[in-house]
Structure 1
Amino acid sequence: MKRHDPDLPLMTLLRVGRIHAPEPLEATDILIADGRIAALGRDLDIPQGWPVHRVEAPDLIAVPAFIDQHVHVTGGGGEGGGGSRCPAITAREIAAMGIATVVGVLGTDSISRSPADLLAKVRDLKAEGIDAYMYTGAYRVPPPTLTGDLQRDLAWIPEVIGLGELAISDHRSSQPRQDEIERLVSEVRVGAMLAGKRGICHFHLGDGKRGLEPLRRLLAETEIPADQVIPTHVNRHRALLEEAADYALTFAACVDVTAFDELGEDDPSGFDAVCLLLDRGVPVERITMSSDCNGSLPEFDAQGAYLGMRVARNTALVADWQRLVNEKVLPLEDALGVISGNVARVLGLHHRKGRLAVGFDADITLLDSQLQPRRTFVGGRCVYPER
C-alpha cells in the first residue's frame, strides 16, 4: 500500500483558468488526495477544517504532465573516451520542462556505466519527486542486465519496464543478427507477461543503410505484436523518416521522433518529423516525441573516426511541441498526446498517467498562455518550482 509522504499536505486544491484532460473540461478545480486526483469540478466546496493546501493559478492551464521515454539520466556519451562522458540530469532540469515521468537509458557506454548505476539514479530521481523508470540493457548484444536475465529484470525490478536502447543500423551497435533480435524481443515479451508489464523493446536507429529493415522483418516474420517494438530517432535523416512513415502505416506501429536541439541544415527537427508523419497519413495516436537529453551528439568523419560531441538537452522537446500548437499543426488536445497520453499508452502506464481524471496520478503541468511550463506537480507534489 502506498505510504503518505509526510511532506505533502493531506489534500491540495488547484484552482486554474482552464483544464485540458487532454480534451477541454468545464472544470477549473482539481482536488488532489494522497498523490492522486480525487475530484474535478468548478468551485469545489471543501468542508471547513479539512487539511487542504490551496494553489490559486487563475492565469494558467492545467494539462497532463509530460512523459519523456528516452533520457540518459546518468549521462550518455563516452565515444571519445572517458573525458567525453555526459553529465547526469537533475530533477529540477526535468521538472522545469513540465516533465513528471522519465525512462532512463544507458546507450553506448555500458562499461563505465551499468544497469545498476542507472537503477540507482532512477531511485534518486524518485526520491527527489520525479516518477522514474528504466530500460534494462544498452546498445550492445547480449544486453547487460541487473540480475543476469532479461525476464528476471522485468519480473523482480519494479522500475524496469522494458529493454533498450538496443542499437541497430548504427556503426556503434553490436550488429545483431536477425535471429538475435527476435530472441531478445521474445524474451522480453514473455518476461513482461509474467510481470504484468507492457515490456516494450526500445530500438535506437542509427543512420545506417539498413534503416528499419530489421524491425520490418521482425514484425513480418514473427508473431510479435507491433506495440511491443518502439523505434526511436526515426528523424535522424529524411530518408529514414520517410521509411518510418511507411513502417508505421504498414504495421499499424508507433514511432518515436527525437527533439534534437542541434541539427544539420537538412535534418528534420522533432517538429518537422511530426508534420511529415501526419502529412503521410500516420495517425497522431501512433506518434510520440522524446528528448534523448543528456545523451551525446557525437560527430564522426566519413571513416567513422570521432571528431567531437555536444550534450543534448530537453529544452527542444517543449519548444518543438509548442510549435505544433502555435503553428496550428495540431490542436492542444492532440498535441498533448505526442508527449503525454500516447507515451503513457506505449509504456503501459495509461491506466494512471497521460490524463487528468479521477483516480489517475496527480501528475499535472501548469502552462502559461505561451504554453511555457510554470509549475510541475508529480504525484501531487510541486516539484517545480520548489516550494
Structure 2
Amino acid sequence: MITIVKNVEIYAPESLGLKQVVLIGDKIEGIYDNITIPENFVKINVIEGEGKYLFPGFIDAHVHLLGGGGEGGFSTRTPEIQLSNIIVGGTTTVVGCLGTDSVCRDMKALIAKAYALEEEGITTYVYTGSYEIPVKSVTESIKSDIMLINKIIGVGEVALSDHRSSQPSYEEFLRLTSQARVAGLLSGKAGIVHVHMGDGERRLEFLYRMLEDTEIPIKQIVPTHINRSIDLFKSGVEYAKRGGYLDLTTSSDPEHLEENEVKASKALKMLLEEGIPIEQIMFSSDGQGSLPRFDEKRQMVGLGIGEVRSLYREVKDAVQKDGVKLETALKTITSNVADALKLSNKGRIGPGKDADLVLVNKEDLSIYTVIAKGKEVVFGDRVLVKGTFEN
C-alpha cells in the first residue's frame, strides 16, 4: 500500500519544513519538496497535512505490558495493557518490563505479550529480569537471553536504593552490568541496564562507584524514575554532568504530585537550564504500573494505573507551559530513546525508516492521526485498530 502525507511540516524530530512524505508498506520511501500523483495510477491513500505537524512515532522504554503493582496485596495487581491504551497517545514502539513481582509474572509471559502486541500492529521489545538480582533469565544467563532472544534488548527494571529491591551487593550489580554490555557487543544490541531508582539515601551510589572502579561506559545504564524526589533529581543532575543518561517518568497525577516529586516537563526544563545536553534526557511512562492517589492531607485514597499516553502529555506541557522548544522536547520520546536502545529504524523520519508517524494539529498539538507500520491506527478521538479482545 502507498500512502502520501501531503503539505505537512515535519519535525524529524529536527525541523525539516514543509514537505511531502511517501510511505510504501511499513517503510518511509522518501521525503520530497513537491510530488505529482499520476492519474489512473495504483490506489494511493492520501492524507492532507495542511495545518499539521508530522512527528516520528513515540517510543516508550518502560511499560508493564503484563500489568504492575501488587505491593498492596493480590487485589492491587494492575491488569495487562491493551493495544488502544498504547496507540491513543501516539506511542508506536514499547519496551516491556517486569517490576516487583517476578513470581506471578515471568519472562515467558512477558515475551508472549510482546509478540501479541506486535501481531496487533505495533513494535515491541522487552528487558530480561525484574527488580531482583540475581536475574531470573529465560535461558541460562543474561548474556544468552540478550544474544539469542530477538525481543530482549537489555536488562531491567533492576531496583536500587529501594526497600522493595533485593538489596543486591555492589559486586552483583557490577556482574549484571558487565554481562549485559558484553552481550550487547556480541549481538549488536544496546545491552542497556534499565535501573529503577528508589528514594533511598544511597541514591546513585552504585552507578558512581562503577564509573570509578571499572571501564564500563556510563551510557550502559539508564536510571529511571529520576524525578521521583527532588533529592534524587539533584543527584541525577550531577550524574548527567558526567555524561550519563537520565530517564524521567511521566505517569503521575499532575494535580496531586507526591511530596518532593518533580513533574517530568518541569524536570526537563530544569535539566536544560543546568546545561545537560538534550541527547542525554529521555521520558518513559511506567505505563500500566500502579499509581497511588492521595487526598489533600496526603492520605492514600486509592490506586490508579499509569498511562502510556502521559508520555506525550508531558512533552506537550514542556512546550506549552514550560517554554521548551518543540524539536527539543520531542527528542525525549523519539531519537534519544532510539539512539540509547540502538533501534536504528525508529525515532526519526527519513528514507528507509519504519513508517511510524504521528500527525498533530498545529494550534494545540492534539493528535490527529497515528500511523504504525504504515497503517493508520488512530484518527482524531477514534481508535481504528483495537486489540483482539477489546470491545
Query: Which amino acid is the alignment partner of residue 206 of structure 2?
Result: P
Partner of 1:143: 135
SS in structure 1 of the partner of residue 134 of structure 2: coil
Give the one of 239, 242, 246 matched to 1:255: 246
Q: CA deviation at 1:276?
A: 1.8
- Asked if the contact 1:79/1:298 (under 8 Å) is kept, the reply is no
Give the one of 143, 157, 170 matched to 1:165: 157
Of 331-340 and 56-65, deviating more is 56-65
Give the one of 335, 349, 352 matched to 2:345: 352
Q: CA RMSD in A?
A: 1.8
CA deviation profile, 1:184-222 (whole Å, cap 9, x unmatched)? 000111111111111100000001110011111112211
* Structure 1 unaligned blocks of 5 or more: 1-8, 301-305
CA deviation profile, 1:134-160 (whole Å, cap 9, x unmatched)? 001000111112223211111111111
Answering whether residue 325 of structure 2 is matched by residue 331 of structure 1, we say yes
Q: CA deviation at 1:280?
A: 1.8
- Asked if the contact 2:85/2:309 (under 8 Å) is kept, the reply is no
CA distance 1:55–1:198, change in 2 (3 Å): same
Alignment partners' CA distance in 2, 1:221 and 1:142: 21
- Asked if the contact 2:222/2:247 (under 8 Å) is kept, the reply is yes
- Asked if the contact 1:27/1:41 (under 8 Å) is kept, the reply is no
Q: CA deviation at 1:176?
A: 0.7
SS in structure 2 of the partner of residue 28 of structure 1: strand
Q: CA deviation at 1:328?
A: 5.5
Alignment partners' CA distance in 1, 2:180 and 2:99: 18
Answering whether residue 177 of structure 2 is matched by residue 185 of structure 1, we say yes
- Asked if the contact 2:85/2:307 (under 8 Å) is kept, the reply is no
Alignment partners' CA distance in 2, 1:185 and 1:60: 43
Answering whether residue 114 of structure 2 is matched by residue 114 of structure 1, we say no
Partner of 1:342: 336
Q: CA deviation at 1:60?
A: 2.0
Answering whether residue 307 of structure 2 is matched by residue 296 of structure 1, we say no
Partner of 2:45: 53
Answering whether residue 288 of structure 2 is matched by residue 281 of structure 1, we say no
SS in structure 1 of the partner of residue 71 of structure 2: coil
Query: Which amino acid is the alignment partner of residue 121 of structure 1?
Result: K
Alignment partners' CA distance in 2, 1:310 and 1:326: 26
Q: Paired residues, what number?
A: 371
SS in structure 1 of the partner of residue 17 of structure 2: coil
Partner of 2:225: 233
Partner of 1:41: 32
Partner of 1:382: 376
Of 270-279 and 103-112, deviating more is 270-279
Partner of 2:388: none
Query: Which amino acid is the alignment partner of residue 304 of structure 2?
Result: R
Of 40-49 and 329-338, deviating more is 40-49
CA deviation profile, 1:267-316 (whole Å, cap 9, x unmatched)? 2111121122122221111111111011123589xxxxx99643212333
Partner of 1:4: none
Alignment partners' CA distance in 2, 1:321 and 1:43: 30
Write the mapping of 1:199-210 to structure 2, written as runs, cut at 5 A.
199-210=191-202
- Asked if the contact 1:89/1:294 (under 8 Å) is kept, the reply is yes
Partner of 1:24: 15
Q: CA deviation at 1:61?
A: 1.2
Partner of 1:214: 206
- Asked if the contact 2:252/2:291 (under 8 Å) is kept, the reply is no
Of 43-52 and 83-92, deviating more is 43-52
CA deviation profile, 1:121-146 (whole Å, cap 9, x unmatched)? 11111111111110010001111122
Alignment partners' CA distance in 1, 2:132 and 2:224: 16
* TM-score, reference length from structure 1: 0.92
SS in structure 2 of the partner of residue 67 of structure 1: strand
Of all paired residues, the percent bearing the same amino acid is 39
